[in-house]
Chain A
């Protein structure tokens, strides 16, 4: 496979990756269908932003955010059914229950662990130790700017954590199971080893004080932008959107079976961070996963970082300390 040169790299030499927006298929069919899948993303984003900007304090609560988030996910599951990007990514009953298991871990035990060891706990400890107060002047900024800062600061940290996972073996061990997913669906973001999900959730936003409404507005960017990373829906995403925001196209390149392609598109929401640091590849891939598309079972996902790490450590020790005994003395 020849691959395509992107900057100094050859993308798609190991497995097929389509590079360049002009080479991707577009939504075809009835004009209503084309209009719907062209306007759906921007309209929902701006509608949700407007809702959170103007909703009275009694309605603008975390509970409402949860209801909207879950309902929106259900709607997106419906869209996956109506207009799938790839038939080979179709959601099956088994994939749905598998994904839901990981989602369930995130909402239950991982959340419990997070209370004691998550970024909130760590930041609280740091603030107590140094008697730091929160940087409260952020609350005086315009709401949308606060929301942008919350989202961007978190995503900036996530970008480097994610890039670190692809470049430093101990971190890669935690992230590798997530790369064994062979198709993208709405809940695939939750699939992975719990250690990774814990690490990727760490952020420094807790050092700053923002208005609660700004958090809800920032959350909207998660609900209405980064959710599309793992979705099996073909959209005619506007050019401005895919220039600044991450898309399923970008993330499919990141999950492709091509090694060089996986080392791109690290951000969660703001693909512009990848553009700034030269790691963005515009395109899409259908064949995803590792080891030729082997599906990793749940049990292996749970122990992989530890067993694989142990195996690597053992072979390192063997290489380092055990010299071949049958080498004749000179």
Chain B
């Protein structure tokens, strides 16, 4: 299925120019550590490598882009690596705000349904009235200068104000804040992750990183 605009949500395409002309085998050899990780299957067909990662490790360099193709294109004077990769994670984060907006709406709906009846509130108020004297600070705290705890009267006043402000038992604001956070994180990820992917390909192809464990060029056996 071809969805040219919608696919941009989870798909990244790009290319990296190689410093020196090299064969597809040589380029794929340098990228090999990226595909020799747990849960990765890949196949090379001439100048094209197709890979798929099933639940990659957290530190897998391609953890965000779990499937795609990488192609080595020979130009008259240079070699280019084209990549076309997909990310279910980006799609999930793109959709996450909808989920949290739904949670927020759920809170609003439950609040409307679960409003305490007036007689219940009155009962609670009556129970409050049965409370004993104002709370007192311990002499040690008085000596150290801690503020006096609020009196029962102040507490009642505060609770009354809070009750007036409150729309119900469930606060929908955290859900809306999270929806906004995921929207921001999607924007960050959509820019950052393709940038890091390109950087990773470039570093591996230039020979800057060969050994995955040490993240430094592997020692060539003498």
Task: Check B221 for interface membership: any CB of A closer than 8 A.
Answer: no
State in angstroms the CA–CA spacing of A141 and B96 once bound together. 46
State in angstroms the CA–CA spacing of A139 and B174 once bound together. 31
- Number of B positions contacting A (CB below 8 A): 44
Q: Are A295 and B55 in contact (CB under 8 A)?
A: yes
**In the complex, which of the residues B59, B192, B193 has the most CB atoms of chain A within 10 Å of its own CB atom?**
B59
CB interface residues, A 84-125, toward B, < 8 Å: 88, 90, 92-97, 100-101, 104, 107-109, 111-112, 115
Residues of A within 8 A of B188 (CB): 93
CB interface residues, B 97-149, toward A, < 8 Å: 100, 103-104, 106-107, 110, 132, 135-138, 140-141, 144-147, 149
Residues of B within 8 A of A112 (CB): 106-107, 110, 170
CB distance from B160 to the nearest CB of A (A): 16
Task: Check B189 for interface membership: any CB of A closer than 8 A.
Answer: yes
Q: Which residue of B lies closest to A139 (CB)?
A: B135
Residues of A within 8 A of B140 (CB): 142
- Number of A positions contacting B (CB below 8 A): 38
Q: Which residue of A lies closest to B189 (CB)?
A: A93
CB distance from B194 to the nearest CB of A (A): 11
State in angstroms the CA–CA spacing of A275 and B209 once bound together. 45
Q: Which residue of A lies closest to B63 (CB)?
A: A94
CB distance from B182 to the nearest CB of A (A): 7
CB interface residues, B 135-178, toward A, < 8 Å: 135-138, 140-141, 144-147, 149-150, 154, 169-170, 174-175, 178
State in angstroms the CA–CA spacing of A212 and B147 once bound together. 12
Residues of A within 8 A of B146 (CB): 53-54, 143, 213
Q: Are B147 and A56 in contact (CB under 8 A)?
A: yes
Residues of A within 8 A of B135 (CB): 139, 211
**Given the interface contacts A112-B107, A295-B55, does A92 sit within 8 Å of B63 by beta carbon?**
yes
